[in-house]
A = this chain, B = another copy of it.
Amino acid sequence: MKIGIMGYGNLGKGIECAIKQNPDMELAAVFSRRNPETVKILTEGVKVYPAEDALKMKDQIDVLILCGGSATDLPVQTPEYAKYFNVVDSFDTHARIPEHFANVDAAAKENGNIAVISCGWDPGMFSLNRLYANCILPQGRDYTFWGKGVSQGHSDAIRRVEGVADGKQYTIPVESALEKVRNGENPDLTTREKHIRECFVVAKEGADKAKIEQEIKSMPNYFADYDTTVHFITEEELQRDHKGIPHGGFVIRSGKTGWNEENSHIIEYSLKLDSNPEFTASVIIACARAAYRMKKEGMAGCKTIFDIAPAYMSPLSGEELRAHML
């Protein structure tokens, strides 16, 4: 299976690493909007091309992975490339998924391609676990906790505060809330009760730290509704202790069964990830395998992870899966 990568940031690089771990795949080409000569990739013998050259390589690529952003790149790129390629994206603006699906579906169907959208872990594996748990326990409640992990959006928000040179924000689930959910107490939890936000901030020289801290803590949407702590550190400390992009979280459904709903059940799925983009890339690559196979079987159109029979994601045959994994 020949894979193309469109966009070589953290996610694109993660895709490249994931391909290396899957012997049934090979990297065919990387496409970038930057000057290809400035883009250094890891795989020997594979070239970087200008994004606009992708169509020329249509016949040498089985699945094109779109690694752009959800805000402006993917809403345009995914429907466009789905005309020419099987594609996979990680579109994660939850509210706009129905619209994105419709646009991509039309393009993919018209051209007989498979397009898998919104792959990753949320949306993605977390969504999948919410779905399965809801199917199994129709009487119940869903809880999703994120973290401990780096929120890119919140880190960006910190860096926009006056006097801030650099910063990183961790989202951390509140352990006592998690425990209540695991115990089947079905608590009603406010935003503040579910997550805390921890900020590591490098202040510019001479900046008013008290003012920075106050401004961060009172920022609407991002921090005001949370218990937020702000630590001032040096740029060296930030680079040394906070350069990773870890993340993770918990999807829990607490439900009842029995004639009088007398029995309680807890289904919990959790992730603890050293590298958010590499894990997302690993999910995407499994979805790319599914896209390739579904296309081969004559299917077409836009799919989400809800529409993919799990066996399509595995390199093993049905016989092997039944014998060794069921």
Contacts and interface: CB of A to CB of B under 8 A. Distances in A.
A241 interface: no
Interface in A212-257: 257
A268 interface: yes
A258 B283 contact: no
A123 interface: yes
Count of this chain's copies in the oligomeric assembly = 2
Interface stretch (A26-34, A194-202, A302-310): A302-310
Interface in A178-216: 182
Contact of A306 (B125, B128, B258, B321): B321
A22 interface: yes
Contact of A278 (B16, B118, B129, B263): B263
A19 to B, nearest CB: 11
Interface in A1-45: 14, 16-18, 20-22, 42
A281 B265 CA distance: 13
Interface stretch (A58-66, A70-78, A311-319): A311-319
Given A98-B323, A136-B286, A266-B273, 12 more contacts: A97-B326, A101-B322, A125-B136, A131-B310, A131-B321, A132-B310, A257-B275, A264-B274, A267-B270, A268-B270, A306-B321, A308-B309
28 contacts: A98-B319, A101-B322, A118-B326, A123-B326, A125-B132, A125-B136, A127-B325, A131-B325, A132-B310, A132-B313, A135-B289, A258-B275, A258-B278, A263-B274, A263-B275, A263-B278, A264-B274, A265-B273, A265-B275, A267-B270, A267-B271, A268-B271, A268-B272, A270-B270, A304-B321, A304-B322, A306-B314, A306-B318
* A-B complex: 4 closest residue pairs judged by Cβ atoms: A263-B274, A135-B286, A257-B278, A135-B313
